Amino acid sequence: MEADRGAAPAAAPAGTAGTGDDDPEIRTAAAPAAPDSAAGGMFSSLRVRNYRYFFLGQVVSNTGTWMQRVAQDWLVLSLTGSPFAVGITTAMQFLPMLLFGLFGGVLADRYPKRRLLMMTQGVMGLLAAGLAVLTLAGVVTVYHVYVFAFLLGLVTVVDNPTRQTFVTEMVGPHALRNAVSLNAANFQTARLIGPAVAGLLIAAVGSGWAFGLNALSFAAVIGGLLAMRTSELHPTPVRPREKGQLREGLHYVRERPELIWPIVLVGFIGTFGFNFPTLLSGFAYDVFHVGAGQYGLLSSAMAVGSLAGALLAARRRSSRLRMLVGAALGFGLLESVTAFAPGFWLFAALLTLVGMVGLTFNTTANASVQLATDPVMRGRVMGLFMLVFAGGTPIGSPIVGWVTEQYGPRVGLLACGLVSAAAAGVVAAVLARSTGLRVRVDLRPGRGHRLISVVPRRSANREELAAAC
């Protein structure tokens, strides 16, 4: 989920409206004809050769990443016997995003993204190899794991906004929504495969080999990047090193309601709504009193839902702000309802829906923010996007953990859902006021009339923002 903003006039909002299902009053001029890659279909972006190579490399690399996550947590637990130490490892990996996330976006705007990605992916591979060597040699300590987790987080600060914004350079703006959704499906597929493979490897030969295979997996991404035809890319002009670029990016976002409010919403939901590792373990242990196998099933249920949500999102042709707010509201309400599930299997089924709606929110937020951003600013905007989404984890996790410990997992999940729903409601109200939109009820009979629709007020003069909603 990453995006950036540019300094040139943004043409993207016009491309987010006029898709054929808008209200007549708020349609805009038709967007330019989309290339074949955007002609439609769930896998339309894979028609682009460069993106196809990138996608295949990511399948391998994401699977290796999930293998390392499971192996890393198991290694720390086996070294210390402390779940708290596992939490410290997670915090160490996310802390750099909280501290330096904005600077990663600046670097993504300064350098060619393909070249920068080859560097970051190479360094990640070396870090995985280093941890593998220490583990296989039998000299690894928990402090080694902390250091490697922190270093991996530092590289991710640059890799995340660069990788997300590079998607536009591969497929162009017309196919961006589909490509973002397929990236999410790619990640969720690896989430289903990687932990299972890691479990088998850990049981058979130990965690070190999982780290080693993850190190090798980065070769697939680098190979795909090297095999790309640079003449078929849509490169974004790089920004020369200048003073004030970080401040310029923040000012750019602050002056655009179609950017600042979706990012605010992403921050609240990323910080409080997506704290499932803490919550699910509490439900498994304290509420339903089940073992590790059933706990793993809860994570798989969310992954299946997320994969379904990503594939459904890949079929959509637009990423409207109203869909973003609606998905956020639905996500929060579903979390609140799931908190009261009386039995394990109903809880697992509801988690599948939560995963589906949550993924819809993620992909819509990513695509809508990127499309509303000028290309030369996209790295900095996506740096801010990832900062509020992932950087909030070290803040939200302890809060949710404390609430869960004091009042129980049901109250913890309910609180997360209510915060997410409330944030969606506030952002919806602010956007409606900013755009001059209102709800219209049409009771006239006949085809072609919507019972409820959202239209601009007659006195509003905010056409561009209204079109994006």
Residue 12 has pLDDT above 70, yes or no: no
Mean pLDDT for the chain overall = 79
Paired tokens of 234: 């849509």
pTM score above 0.75 = no
pLDDT for 137 equals 94
pLDDT for 217 equals 95
pLDDT digit string, tens, across residues 206-255? 889 999 999 999 999 999 999 999 998 888 777 667 677 778 888 888 88
Residue 125 or residue 468, greater confidence:
125
What mean pLDDT comes out for the span 326-355?
Answer: 93
- pLDDT band at 89; cut points 50, 70, 90: confident
Residue 314 has pLDDT above 80, yes or no: no
pLDDT for 19 equals 32
pLDDT for 329 equals 92
pLDDT for 125 equals 96
**CA distance linking residue 187 with residue 56, whole number of Å:** 11
Residue pair 235/389 in contact by the 8 Å Cβ criterion = no
**CA distance linking residue 280 with residue 127, whole number of Å:** 30
What mean pLDDT comes out for the span 297-314?
Answer: 82
What mean pLDDT comes out for the span 374-394?
Answer: 80
**Tokens 């009820």 appear where?**
441
Q: Looking at 21-35, 343-357, 420-434, which range is the least confident one?
A: 21-35
Residue 70 or residue 391, greater confidence:
70
Residue 104 has pLDDT above 70, yes or no: yes
**CA distance linking residue 6 with residue 10, whole number of Å:** 8
- pLDDT band at 368; cut points 50, 70, 90: confident
pLDDT for 469 equals 57
What mean pLDDT comes out for the span 127-139?
Answer: 95
Residue 9 has pLDDT above 90, yes or no: no
Residue 197 has pLDDT above 50, yes or no: yes
